[in-house]
Structure 1
């Protein structure tokens, strides 16, 4: 004879909610927090009211889905309010300053970007090759595969005491 394990289902709901909370602490995106709340409110709530196991699972899934699609977007919007999107990889290169380290010959040269990387560079159409020499400041206009397109920089060079 097998014992009726449904009387201990409340323990499974608590353990599942605890696992979701631990996963949330790793991800910090409110997804697992919504699943934990759905588990506690739906699954454990229906269990404590005496509902069958299939109703507990359905209630946990419904409450979790409701929280994921209603509360989570609001929480994320409040959390990220006032923050600018952080540019990374190639997107961060647009508009970055650079210094010419090799002369431009046939519109190809080499520049050292302000982030320390050295790139092959092409001059933009509006920049004359004779106006840009080694040591001059330029600005990245676009990224062309493994090269950057630069134009002469109208901004004054920053010094360390500018902030």
Structure 2
């Protein structure tokens, strides 16, 4: 068994690489990906150099990846700016259909992408069922809409 492992060190580096990539799925900051890159290069080196040199190649390449590759990956990920709206905040600007009439002083319901939201009108007017509306703001679980 030991002879097999020593003769196939590339397999150990492949396991380390895939393990790092799986761990990266839970973090998403490309830090662990740099160790996977180092393991990939060490896997190639395993056919040429002894184990101690492979570990050195892995460490050096991982650090170099953190310094040079990670910043480029992060810039690419955050190309749209630092503010990335998600969940309910991403509703603003979306178009929905009124499924329960919205009358002055009362709320109704709007359907947006299959989800129903409690809604109030921007100005005191009645918005009939079936009208298309745009979401202009959100306060907790209540959205403010205007007719488009």
State the alpha-carbon separation in 2 of the partners of residues 92 and 62 from structure 1: 41
**1:102 aligned onto 2:101:** yes
Q: Scaled by the length of structure 1, what TM-score is found? A: 0.57
Match of 1:65?
A: 63
State the alpha-carbon separation in 2 of the partners of residues 67 and 109 from structure 1: 54
Match of 1:160?
A: none
Structure 2 gap ranges (5+): none
Structure 1 gap ranges (5+): 154-163
State the alpha-carbon separation in 2 of the partners of residues 88 and 148 from structure 1: 15
Match of 1:138?
A: 133
Q: Scaled by the length of structure 2, what TM-score is found? A: 0.62
Q: Call closer, same or farther: CA 1:75–1:96 in 2, change over 3 Å.
A: closer
Deviations 1:112-133 (A, max 9, x none): 2231222111223xx2x23x32
State the alpha-carbon separation in 2 of the partners of residues 33 and 60 from structure 1: 9
Superposed CA RMSD? 4.0
**1:37 aligned onto 2:40:** yes
1:92 to 86, 90, 94: 90
Which of 1 and 2 has greater Rg? 1
**1:149 aligned onto 2:144:** yes
Offset, 1:144: 1.0
